[in-house]
Amino acid sequence: MKKTSFLLVNILVMALVLVSADFAAQRSQSADVLLGAALHQEEVEGDYEAAIETYKKLLAEYPNNRPLAAQAQLRIGLCYEKLGLVEAEKAYELVLQKYADQPKQVAVAQARLAAMRTEEPEGLTVTKIEGQGVRGIQAVSPDGTKIAVLDINGGQNIAVYDLVTKRLELVTHNDWSRVTDNAIWSPDGKKIAYLQIGSGILPEEKDGKSTDYFLMVSTLDGKTRPIFSTEDGVPVPFDWLPDGSAVAVTLVNAPRMEEVEGVSLGLVPATGGAFKTLHDLEGDFHLIPSGNSGIAYADASPDGRHIVFADGPKGDEQNIYCIGTDGQSLQVLIDHTANDIQPRWSPDGKYVVFLSFRSGNKALWGVSVKNGKPAGEPFIIQEMGPGTTLFNWTAQGLTYRNSVDMWDVYLSPVDPETGEPAGRMEQLDYSPPGRNRRAVWSPDGKHIAFLSAERGGQPGQGYIVIMAAEGGQAREYLIPTDNFWLLSIGGIRWMPDSSGLGYFGKGKKGATLFRFTQASEKWETWEIQTPPVTFEWSPSGNAFLYSKVILGIIEHDLETGEERSIWRPENEKNVFSIPRELRFSRDYKKLVFHRMDAKFENNKTELVSENIVVVDISSGQARTIDSEDFSNLSWTAAWSSDGQNLAVLNHVEGKPSEMFIVPSQGGTPNKVKLSGGPVKGRRIITDWSPDGKHIAFEIRRTSYEIFMMKNIIPKKQR
């Protein structure tokens, strides 16, 4: 009897422990949900008063979760400050008084208090540069009257938009076999240097040799010449020396575009010549800059003696450095635990301004510089938006871009029989919003999964999020790769038995297939030599399909590594096919994909056609879905539950996307009208639920604005 009682007590104790642990986990999840809601109110909706109340609720309900409580108290201060209320100072002081054991929050509170007690710049003004009406903004001319932009009508070319005449003029005239990027103005505003990426032989190359990456210079009337190219790297320009004699360049060793193996900062003569290395950089860089990261943004001093740039150890935050244009006198200008990026010299050469995250949000900071060395402590100038990118300093002030780029998942209820909308499209109930895409339903219809990224200071990292189809708490799983967005265009695919999902990311020599299993909540990986454009699981789950240019669609066996052809295009000479967005029907008897055919001839690439193709797996027969109704098809097509229909989108420039329900065996497409969701934004169909009652969409909303900031340096610092 005593033995039985003892055993019963142990069971009860264990049960209490499990219940307590489960309760604690639930509370932790609830706290995270509350924090996510508050951050959404603050950062997305801009409803600071509502956010303050939610943060106060966090403090009241979770006072013993000190990291969370400290963060909530800090965010209260940030909200008060954004509202312009004096309560902000008291809120920051409470962080110092109550949460001295939370160093990150204390450091931010101290920085904000210091900023609030610092004299504001006298006469600082920020004005929006109106009327550009163009995307792909690169740089503003030295006199502030023109903008260099990327024009993508018929090819990615450099163009100039005149802010006075409101006219856009092409500078280069390339087709899609050559694209351009990173345009920078010469000091006199008469020339533009830029990176050209392309294949083929330039007319100026007498020996018939060529590389794919060129540093180019063009006059505004279109006279173009290469000044540098090498097989050793990609020359990305960032500034000219003030006398116009040379271009500051980062030479990037990126053999496969997506993976940078080394970066050197140096100079290339403006008349053409060899690359002169000034300094080899350490940090984690991408080939083309992107907001908070990218190659070091370099900037030459007005006297031409120094260059400032951002760099830092691999896997760590960046600092600001200064080096002489002779390659000597390397000096650390800014050394801080926060990320400091995009340095720019003031026109008088007395200051360097830069973007920093040390105050908790992105802000513009400055430091006095003399003879290439810091001559004082860094000082804050102004808070900036999260999408801020600094451009160049013009005669009229410092120019910068503020961008908002958001992806979110929306669900549209539809009639399972016809695909006709049965209600308004609504955003999926998930927080944080703004970085969620590529939603897919599990084959058994019990879950919906999607990709989510870039939250909490984790650039390049992403999650697979899994939610029950009927709603409820989301489960998030970090994808073990640091370049989440690079191959995310391929999306994720559920295993045929709904046991897990697959995703492709960067690999050591090509690409890595990541497979996540729900039961174990663990990842498996396979290195694949050729990075796929897209992929889909085979019915067995032990193989996958992927596409190869020219060769078509291949099945790769994970156990043996053997490959076999599923579909191969029959093209005329010099025409090649690019299959994208492979998707099996629910019974795995048919495969649909988006086919793009391009022709390469005389060193030029031209898009010939694009269609949706359906392949019958048993017979191998392929049928093209074509209609005069389709002028610009979406990349994706989603299967109805019975495999009889496909949902596709047609994009018409300047108009809302049109959805068609298309019979997979041929027939007349049925155009349906969508309602709900944001008025503006590019829509992409990602999946049709197994029960046929919902179609999932990804909607992307993008906006860009340019601003000019004048009288930047505070009077006290002058």
pLDDT digits (tens, 9 = 90+) for 495-514: 999 999 998 776 556 678 88
Q: Which pLDDT band holds residue 28 (cuts at 50, 70, 90)? A: very low
Average pLDDT over residues 399-403: 86
Q: Tell me, what CATH number does 84's domain have?
A: 1.25.40.10
CATH code: domain of residue 369: 2.120.10.30
If asked whether residues 643 and 615 sit together in one domain, one would say yes
445-465 per-position pLDDT tens digit: 999 999 887 554 455 567 899
Q: How far apart are CA 582 and CA 456, in angstroms?
A: 33
Query: pLDDT tens for residues 51-87?
Result: 999 999 999 999 889 988 999 999 999 888 877 777 8
Q: Which residue has the higher pLDDT, 391 or 6?
A: 391
In a domain, 16, yes or no: no
What integer pLDDT is reported at residue 632 of this predicted model?
60
Domain-located, residue 530: yes
Position with higher pLDDT, 105 vs 306: 306
Residues 82 and 145 in one domain: no
Residues 293 and 154 occupy one common structural domain: yes
Please, which residues have CB within 8 angstroms of residue 98's CB and are 6 or more apart in sequence? 69, 70, 73
Question: Tell me, what's the pLDDT at 222?
Answer: 86
Q: What is the DSSP annotation of 307-356?
A: EEEEE--TTS--EEEEEETTS---EEEE--SS-EEEEEE-TTSSEEEEEE
pLDDT band at 200 (very low <50, low <70, confident <90, very high): very low
Cα–Cα nearest to 409, from 389, 429, 394, 393: 429
Q: Where in the sequence is the domain holding 131, given as residue range(s)? A: 125-395
Rounded Cα gap, residues 422 and 405, in angstroms? 29
> Could you tell me which residues come within 8 angstroms of residue 436 by beta carbon, excluding any fewer than 6 positions away?
407, 408, 409, 428, 430, 450, 451, 452, 465
Residue that terminates a domain, selected from 353, 377, 395 = 395
Domain assignment of residue 385, yes or no: yes
pLDDT at 254: 61
The pLDDT confidence band at residue 290, using thresholds 50, 70 and 90, is very low
Mean pLDDT score across all residues of the chain = 81
Say whether both 112 and 147 belong to one domain: no
Same domain, residue pair 523 and 575? yes
The two beta strands, 622-625 and 604-616, are antiparallel
- % of the chain exceeding 70 in pLDDT: 82
Q: How many domains does the chain fold into?
A: 3
Question: Residue 136: its pLDDT value, please?
Answer: 73
pTM over 0.75: no
List of long-range contacts for 323-326, beta carbons under 8 Å, 24+ apart: 323/265, 323/278, 323/279, 323/372, 324/372, 325/241, 325/267, 325/278, 325/300
CA 67, distance to chain mean position in Å, is: 29
For the chain, report the end-to-end CA distance as a whole number of angstroms.
87
With cut-offs at 50, 70 and 90, classify the pLDDT of residue 482: low
pLDDT band at residue 604 using 50, 70 and 90 as cut-offs = low
pLDDT at 672: 87
In a domain, 340, yes or no: yes
pLDDT higher than 90, residue 410:
yes
Closest by CA position to 340, among listed 324, 325, 353, 351: 353
Residue 4 located in a structural domain:
no
Rounded distance between C-alpha atoms, residue 557 and residue 524, angstroms: 15
pLDDT of res. 465: 93
Confidence of residue 134 (pLDDT cuts 50, 70, 90): low
Question: Is the domain of 460 the same as that of 388?
Answer: no
- Scored b (16 or more CB within 10 A) or e, 152-180 reads eeebbbbbbbebeeeebeebbebbebbbb
- 710 belongs to a structural domain: no
693 by Cβ neighbours in 10 Å (0-12 / 13-18 / 19+) ranks as middle
Residue 195 and residue 283 in one domain: yes
pLDDT for the residue 508: 57
Residue that is written with structure tokens 């090509």 in the block: 510
Is 134:168 a contact under the CB 8 Å cutoff?
yes
pLDDT score of 198: 73
Which of 66, 95, 116 is at the close of a domain?
A: 116
Residue 374: inside a domain, yes or no? Answer: yes
Banded model confidence at residue 520, pLDDT cuts 50, 70, 90: very high
State whether 42 and 182 are in the same domain: no
* Nearest in space to 625 (alpha carbons), one of 650, 654, 658: 650
In angstroms, rounded to a whole number, what is the distance separating the alpha carbons of residues 504 and 206?
A: 42
> Do both 140 and 105 map to the same domain?
no
Residues 57 and 184 in one domain: no
Radius of gyration of the chain (CA): 28
Residue 97 corresponds to which amino acid? Q
Do 88 and 235 lie in one domain? The reply is no
pLDDT band at residue 293 using 50, 70 and 90 as cut-offs: very low
**Residue 487: predicted pLDDT:** 45
281 has a pLDDT exceeding 80 = yes
Of 188-202, 204-218, 541-555, where does the model show the most confidence? 541-555
**The predicted structure's pLDDT at residue 395:** 81
Domain final residue pick, 395, 413, 428: 395
**Same domain flag for 337 and 438:** no
Query: Does the residue 6 lie in any domain?
Result: no
Residues with Cβ within 8 Å of residue 678, at least 6 apart in sequence: 699, 701
Contact between 76 and 65 under an 8 Å Cβ cutoff? The reply is no
* pLDDT-derived band at 256, boundaries 50, 70, 90: very low
